[in-house]
């Protein structure tokens, strides 16, 4: 029995398995289950799934639309997975990623009594002991958490984010199912995929576990607040640690105007071009200076405060760039903006991420065409977010692995550019981007940085030299003792073995039926034994058994769709 059917065999999990498979079949993804090699188990469990069939009302929809609807019906875990995949065009085609961006994460609110129980369980005290006021109506309700407005006993107005009850158990069960599907996907598709399905699920597990733990989000907000301490054009909400925990997050209430409410901003006397500039500088500093950036800066998550101060809220989704990737990104962007084809190709060819079978002349031609598209474009008309997304599409085309955060970064820049141009038609992200890139490249070439890199390389090579004698000694010892082994892994053979097993079983079945018919025919030529209707009863019994077995075999072959 495969891993998919071994894990979590409790009643709740079995029901959830049935629901997941049923929804996939309902939206026309039964062929996907067949590719994973579980159609045999689905046929065995036909009674469980007999009520599920592809819904004819969705047949007119495209496959990406059907996938989005299926994920929405399956609930929070699969919605979050869809949102992750929407930023991974290296896994799904652009048609799918565009459709998955429409996923809706709105659900009915939880009763105030259930929310109070979560707070009491977290702190061991009722909500009244922590908050002087606590609104009964939520400000927002999503699949993982619900947000209420309140007031502390010290007088500060706050918003309280509370995790929905029982959501953790559901997500754990769903991730178990996804891990099973990922293992089947790897086993049956093998090298047909350019990504590692189990690794993707592990990444997703880490992402959603961080989102479930509000302590992590509080620490992230505190880091953002430290990063922007002393800057008067960006504001990060305060957190209240004494009212925060794993399931509850209490933040300062932000009384501002959403950046999308342009008319209100004008009426209040705000300087819209200054707001656009402050927002661009804030997001670029997050990306290129701190390496920690807001991953979901849509207009509803950005408030404008007096003096054109920009305030980001909701830090549940953030991106991270290490220093090496930040330098690499700055060099790529500089090469593109300077139309330096040779430098850009060189950065890619020596990045260490290329596949062995990379088509280098075709890569150089694609990069040249990409740069030529921007050669005659005035600098003020270049869209940095769109440029980066098109560059990522080249990486996908040539199967060049890249960090998922790079795509999240591209989307973030694209959204911020759109907001900036709504505020200021003359807004140009590249103008704000260039000083940061020059600063980064200058920092990379600084003697202190080169010295640190030299020390790091020296230590790495030193460790290699120290371990080399022991490694060689162990290798030689294993060879001398005939304990040197090479493990070979065969991929994609499970389905072939299953098909061969079915074929041999059918052949054996056919030989058994033929033997019964021949034997019964010989018995019918004699008058021995008891008679039935004037014929030997043993012969009639043999014919009957052969007829039943033959009919069973014929039905099995017809149902498999392979004559």
Rounded (5°) CA angle 211-6-187 = 80
Using CA atoms, how far residue 107 sits from 2, 74, 141, 142, 145, in Å, is 34, 12, 6, 6, 10
- Number of Cβ atoms within 10 Å of the Cβ of 62: 12
Catalytic: which of 176, 296, 314, 405?
Answer: 296
Q: What phi, psi does 312 have (nearest 5°)?
A: -90, 140
Residue in the structure block whose two tokens are 């875990």:
77
Active site annotation includes 232: no
**Long-range pairs of 422-428 with CB within 8 A, sequence gap ≥ 24:** 422/260, 422/262, 423/259, 423/262, 423/272, 423/273, 423/275, 423/276, 423/279, 424/272, 424/273, 424/276, 424/277, 426/273, 426/380, 427/273, 427/276, 427/277, 427/280, 428/379, 428/380, 428/382
The per-residue b/e assignment along 280-319, b for 16 or more CB within 10 angstroms, e otherwise, is: bbbbbbbbbebbbbbbbbeeebbbbeeebbbbbbbbbbbb
User: What is the crossing angle of helices 404-423 and 429-444, to 10°?
Assistant: 140
Close Cβ partners of 360 (under 8 Å, ≥ 6 residues apart): 349
Residue in the structure block whose two tokens are 């999240």:
408
Close Cβ partners of 342 (under 8 Å, ≥ 6 residues apart): none
Strand partners, 162: 146, 248
Using CA atoms, how far residue 19 sits from 15, 49, 51, 74, in Å, is 6, 9, 11, 8
Residue in the structure block whose two tokens are 């399905």:
197
- Annotated catalytic residues are 296
């Amino acid at each position: 029995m495969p891993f998919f059917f071994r894990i979590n065999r409790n009643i709740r999990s079995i029901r959830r398995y049935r629901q997941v498979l049923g929804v996939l079949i309902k939206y026309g993804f039964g062929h996907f289950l067949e590719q994973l090699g579980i159609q045999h188990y689905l046929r065995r469990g036909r009674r469980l799934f007999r009520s599920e069939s592809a819904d004819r009302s969705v047949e007119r929809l495209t496959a990406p639309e059907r996938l989005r609807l299926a994920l929405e019906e399956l609930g929070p875990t699969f919605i979050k997975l869809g949102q992750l995949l929407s930023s991974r065009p290296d896994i799904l085609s652009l048609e799918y990623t565009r459709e998955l961006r429409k996923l809706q994460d709105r659900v009915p609110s939880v009763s105030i009594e259930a929310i109070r129980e979560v707070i009491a369980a977290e702190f061991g005290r009722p909500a009244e002991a922590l908050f002087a006021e606590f609104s009964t109506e939520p400000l927002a309700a999503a699949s993982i958490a619900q947000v209420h407005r309140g007031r502390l006993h010290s007088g500060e107005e706050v918003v309280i984010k509370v995790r929905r009850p029982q959501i953790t158990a559901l997500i754990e069960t769903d991730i178990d199912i996804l891990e099973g599907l990922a293992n089947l996907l790897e086993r049956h598709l093998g090298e047909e995929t350019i990504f590692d399905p189990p690794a993707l699920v592990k990444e997703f597990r880490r992402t959603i576990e961080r989102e479930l733990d509000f302590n992590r989000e509080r620490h992230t907000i505190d880091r953002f607040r430290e990063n922007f301490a002393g800057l008067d054009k960006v504001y990060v909400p305060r957190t209240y640690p004494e009212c925060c925990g794993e399931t509850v997050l209490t933040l300062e209430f932000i009384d501002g105007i959403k950046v999308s409410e342009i008319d209100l901003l004008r009426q209040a006397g705000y300087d819209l071009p200054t707001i656009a500039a402050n927002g661009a500088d804030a997001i670029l500093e997050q990306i290129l200076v701190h390496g920690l950036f807001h991953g979901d800066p849509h207009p509803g998550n950005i408030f404008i405060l007096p003096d054109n101060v920009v305030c980001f809220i909701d830090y549940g989704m953030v991106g991270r760039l290490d220093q090496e990737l930040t330098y690499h990104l700055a060099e790529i962007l500089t090469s593109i903006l300077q139309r330096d084809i040779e430098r850009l190709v060189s950065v890619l060819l020596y990045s260490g991420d290329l596949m062995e079978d990379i088509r280098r002349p075709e890569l150089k031609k694609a990069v040249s065409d990409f740069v030529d598209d921007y050669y005659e474009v005035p600098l003020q008309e270049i869209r940095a977010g769109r440029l980066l997304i098109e560059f990522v599409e080249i990486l996908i085309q040539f199967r060049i692995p890249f960090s998922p955060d790079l795509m999240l970064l591209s989307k973030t820049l694209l959204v911020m550019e759109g907001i900036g141009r709504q505020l200021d038609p003359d807004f140009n992200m590249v103008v704000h981007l260039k000083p940061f890139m020059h600063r980064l490249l200058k920092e990379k070439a600084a003697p202190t940085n080169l010295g640190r890199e030299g020390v790091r390389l020296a230590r790495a090579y030193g460790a290699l030299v120290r371990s080399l004698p022991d490694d060689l000694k162990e290798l030689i010892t294993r060879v001398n003792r005939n304990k040197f082994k090479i493990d070979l892994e065969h991929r994609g053979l499970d389905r072939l073995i299953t098909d061969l097993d079915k074929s041999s079983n059918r052949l054996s079945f056919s030989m058994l039926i033929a033997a019964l018919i021949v034997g019964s025919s010989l018995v019918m030529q004699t008058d021995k034994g008891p008679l039935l209707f004037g014929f030997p009863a043993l012969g009639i019994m043999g014919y009957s058994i052969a007829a039943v077995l033959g009919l069973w075999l014929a039905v099995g072959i017809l149902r498999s769709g392979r004559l």
